[in-house]
Amino acid sequence: MDWRDTPQQAEWRQGIRSFLKDELPAVFQSETLDFESMMTMRGNPALREGFESWRKALAKRGWVAPAWPTEYGGAGMTAVDQFILNHEFAEARAPGIGGLGVMMLGPTLIAHGTEEQKQQHIPRILDGTVNWCQGYSEPGSGSDLASLQTRAVRDGDDFVVNGQKIWTSGAHIADWCFALTRTDPDAPKHRGITYLLMDMKTPGITVRPLINLAGSHNFNEVFFEDVRVPVKNVIGEVNRGWYVGTTTLDFERSSIGNAVGQRQAVERNINWMREHKHEMAPTDYQASKHQWADRWIDVQVATQLAYRVISMQAAGLIPNSESSIAKLFNTTLSQSIAKSAIKMMGLAGVLTDKSAPMRGSAAVGYLASVPATIAGGTSEIQRNIIATRGLGLPRA
């Protein structure tokens, strides 16, 4: 397969690079920005100003959600054009705008929502006035998501929701939530589920923080107690929400920008190793060289998996097991990179303090990488998908 750009693609790529050079705020070039600060912009006016400036620059071109149809505020890009855009943005460390609203809910609304729902929510996703969170996982329904028990009972023009969601990323700053609820407890577990949109200010919704291993706050648990949600907030058909929900998961798993970030992480660690060679025992240095050679090969594999996904999308196909392969490989690779960094730095590698080597990024990165193999479908679930849908193996 020849992955080189066509003349038109090369021209498009150069135009993106020129745009980034002129428009990307300098604040995003810092390697010290963590996920929590990027989400909340807490105590960082420069970051808030940078995000607003960046949003306006993207919105002028329809690049907040570039693959969306132009009638919904996108640029109507082809899959390959968006792939090139994502690639160049990742190289420049340019942040995405819109969060789960752009990445997951927006495409699902376009595919399954009514025109009224699209007009109500899509403009506010694009202009950043509404943040979204995802209400899928529950304490007893994570990998087996279809066993979820949060109930939604019809009462006139409303559903009354009771139950709990967990590992809800960004719920503490979200304005709305898209959630799966059980509306027919007697139906088979993949049926009787309804996809609802909930205003997080609705009485009866309580958000409690969950602090992760790295000491940061992104996850939450969310409780619903007699929460009234209008029936008009159903996406798709009542009791057919599982199929809407799997559409959302397909968008999440089709991400193709991870390989660039993995490569940049490997490059940063290799540069550190070169700069501190004189501080390492010769045997440790040789061992680290071999480790990073392996990680570099892994990054090339991740890149090829990303190209495999985009080649399918360009051909009008929907990646399924292929996206699961890429997701499984990338999330495992992030842990391998962090583990290699810790080994390279020795005992100092387990320190999370900012005064530690590379500002403690090795230990923090390893702790922060643990949820990646769980979120969006655990590694075990991805292997099941690969086995049954990719290899055609029996379920039992």
Looking at residue 314, its pLDDT comes to 81
CATH fold of 132-239: Butyryl-CoA Dehydrogenase, subunit A; domain 2 (2.40.110)
Query: pLDDT band for position 254 (50/70/90)?
Result: very low
Average pLDDT over residues 71-93: 89
**Percentage of the residues of the chain whose pLDDT score is greater than 90:** 61
| Nearby residues of 367 by Cβ (< 8 Å), 6 or more positions away | 212, 213, 214, 352
Q: Which of 105-114, 227-236, 254-263 has the lowest mean pLDDT?
A: 254-263
Average pLDDT over residues 73-83: 88
Query: pLDDT band for position 252 (50/70/90)?
Result: very low
Report, as residue numbers or ranges, the catalytic residues: 252
User: What angle do the packed helices 7-23 and 79-91 form, to 10 degrees?
Assistant: 40
**Distance (Å, rounded) from C-alpha 349 to C-alpha 273?**
12
Beta bridge partners of 195: 180, 235
Query: pLDDT band for position 186 (50/70/90)?
Result: very high
Looking at residue 42, its pLDDT comes to 53
Query: pLDDT band for position 334 (50/70/90)?
Result: very high
CATH fold of 254-390: Butyryl-CoA Dehydrogenase, subunit A; domain 3 (1.20.140)
Q: Is residue 396's pLDDT more than 80?
A: no
Beta bridge partners of 194: 181
Looking at residue 253, its pLDDT comes to 47
CATH fold of 7-97: Butyryl-Coa Dehydrogenase, subunit A; domain 1 (1.10.540)
pLDDT tens figures, 97-112 = 888 999 889 989 999 9
Distances (CA, A) of 266 to 86, 99, 239, 277: 19, 26, 46, 16
Measure the CA angle with vertex 131, ends 142 and 36; round to 5°: 70
Beta bridge partners of 135: 179
Beta-strand pair 234-235/217-230: unpaired
Q: Is residue 279's pLDDT more than 70?
A: yes
* Better-scored residue on pLDDT, 43 or 162: 162
pTM, two decimal places: 0.84
Query: pLDDT band for position 257 (50/70/90)?
Result: low
Residue 328: exposure state from Cβ atoms within 10 A (0-12, 13-18, ≥19)? buried
pLDDT tens figures, 362-379 = 999 899 888 888 877 789
Sketch the domain layout of the chain as residue ranges: 7-97, 132-239, 254-390
Contact, 384 vs 324, CB < 8 A? no
Strand boundaries in the chain, DSSP class E: 132-135, 151-155, 158-165, 176-182, 193-199, 205-211, 217-230, 234-235
Looking at residue 19, its pLDDT comes to 96
**Distance (Å, rounded) from C-alpha 75 to C-alpha 112?**
20
Name which of 275, 294, 303, 378 is nearest 339 in CA terms. Answer: 294
